[in-house]
């Protein structure tokens, strides 16, 4: 088998090595003692052979297992198999090509690449995460996985291009905001954290990110608010505070402006759609 990770990804995208079934690790099950569990989402792809995994079932050649952040999988190697693992860290992607020959496991290739540029990968992962609610929609799930793999190829192809100092600083600030959105961030406090002036911070966002600092911060907070509204039975005020909004009324106005629905309406509509999907599976 080809050991070049970019070549393997290209074959999976093109269908030369077709993607088969997309499985989702069951978050309700308790992780066994020796299970693989990290704080970032992962894809486990079987390239050759088959692997029994307690988090899903028996994964055949072409099958994909999506493991969410904090989730786990526990591969039980019984017959020769080759797998590709992709770890989506906050600042870089990790690729690991592993072969089990029936006796022991051997790493055939390892590679890392920085996550730079627009948040395409983050939104694709978020979309795949949503597919856990509709696991029977396999065609859509496969297309999302293929898009993620295509994004990986793009990053691998551009890694030889060194980011400018301003681009690297912008990426670091964006990661900082993504990690601290729930705290009372301001333009001044973020600028101080990176030893730059508030005016330069604004300039950096307009020039490198093509969006203002406040707009980016608001967008990030609202994205997390949507996830909390969909996944947790929290009061609107609790959601607002958990996402960094001190004034829940201001949060509601912003939310309606961006979604054309109040937070409560957004939650009701989302859950009614889920109930409808469950009652009328395709």
Q: 112 and 184: one domain?
A: no
Residue 41 DSSP code: -
**The pLDDT of residue 238 is above 80:** yes
Among residues 138, 158, 178, which one ends one of the domains? Answer: 158
Domain holding 53, by residue range, is 5-158
- Residues 117 and 196 both lie in one domain: no
List, in sequence order, every beta strand (DSSP E) within 25-165. Answer: 36-37, 42-48, 51-53, 58-59, 64-67, 72-73, 75-76, 81-88, 92-100, 105-114
Bridge-based pairing of strands 64-67 and 22-24 is parallel
The 10s digit of each residue's pLDDT in 36-69 is 888 889 999 999 999 988 766 889 999 999 999 8
Residues 200 and 141 in one domain: no
Do residues 55 and 122 both lie within one domain?
yes
Q: What are the tokens at 134?
A: 């509709």
Whole-model pTM: value is: 0.63
CATH code where residue 213 lies: 1.10.10.60
Q: What distance in Å separates the CA atoms of residue 277 and residue 74, rounded to the nearest whole number?
A: 30
Bridge partners (DSSP) of residue 64 are: 22, 45
- Average pLDDT, integer, range 146-155: 95
> Is there a domain that residue 279 lies in?
no
pLDDT for the residue 161: 52
For residue 119, name the pLDDT band (cuts at 50, 70, 90): confident
Q: How far apart are CA 281 and CA 88, in angstroms?
A: 31
For residue 281, pLDDT beyond 70:
no
> Which of 114, 137, 158 finishes a domain?
158
How high is the pLDDT of residue 106?
A: 86
Question: What secondary structure does DSSP assign to 201-239, as a single string?
Answer: HHHHIIIIISS-HHHHHHHHHHHHHHHHHHH----HHHH
Same domain, yes or no, for 84 and 224? no
195 and 136 within one domain: no
């Amino acid at each position: 088998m080809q050991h070049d990770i970019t070549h393997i990804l290209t074959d999976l995208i093109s269908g030369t090595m077709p993607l088969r079934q997309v499985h989702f690790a069951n978050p309700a099950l308790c992780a066994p003692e020796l299970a693989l569990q990290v704080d970032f989402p992962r894809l486990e792809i079987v390239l050759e052979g088959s692997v029994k995994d307690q988090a899903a079932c028996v994964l055949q050649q072409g099958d994909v297992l999506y493991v969410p952040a904090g989730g786990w999988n526990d591969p039980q190697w019984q017959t020769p198999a080759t797998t590709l693992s992709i770890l989506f860290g906050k600042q870089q992607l990790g690729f690991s090509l592993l072969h089990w020959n029936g006796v022991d496991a051997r790493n055939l290739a390892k590679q890392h690449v920085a996550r730079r540029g627009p948040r395409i990968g983050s939104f694709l992962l978020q979309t795949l995460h949503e597919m856990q609610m509709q696991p029977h929609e396999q065609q859509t799930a496969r297309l999302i996985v293929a898009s993620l793999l295509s994004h990986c190829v793009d990053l691998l192809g551009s890694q030889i291009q060194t980011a400018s100092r301003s681009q690297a600083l912008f990426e670091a600030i964006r990661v900082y905001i993504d990690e601290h959105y729930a705290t009372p961030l301001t333009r001044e406090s973020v600028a101080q954290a990176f030893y730059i002036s508030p005016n330069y911070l604004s300039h950096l966002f307009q020039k490198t990110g093509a969006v203002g600092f406040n707009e980016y911060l608001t967008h990030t907070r609202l994205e997390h608010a949507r996830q909390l509204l969909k996944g947790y039975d929290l009061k609107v005020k609790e959601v607002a505070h958990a996402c960094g909004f001190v004034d829940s009324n201001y949060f509601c106005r912003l939310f309606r402006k961006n979604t054309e629905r109040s937070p409560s309406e957004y939650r009701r509509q989302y859950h009614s759609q889920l109930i409808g999907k469950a009652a009328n599976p395709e």
